[in-house]
Structure 1
Amino acid sequence: MQPQPPLLPAGPGTLLDAAAILNGTVDMRTYQRRYLVVYAETPRESARIANTAIPDYQGILSLVTTCVEWLDEHFGWELVNVFTRECQGDYLQWHCYYAMLRRSRSN
Structure 2
Amino acid sequence: MVSTIFMDNLINTGKDVELLRKSRIIDNWLGNDEAVTKMFNKLGDCIYYSREDVYYKNIVIQVNKHCEIKCNIWKWKAKLMKDYFNTPWSPISFLAAFVLLVLTIVQTIFSLLSYYH
Q: Relative contact order (alpha carbons < 8 A, sep ≥ 6): 1 or 2 greater?
A: 1
Q: Which TM class, normalised by the smaller chain length?
A: under 0.3
Higher alpha-carbon Rg: 2
Higher helix share goes to which structure?
Answer: 2
The TM-score with structure 1 as length reference comes to 0.24
Higher strand share goes to which structure?
Answer: 1
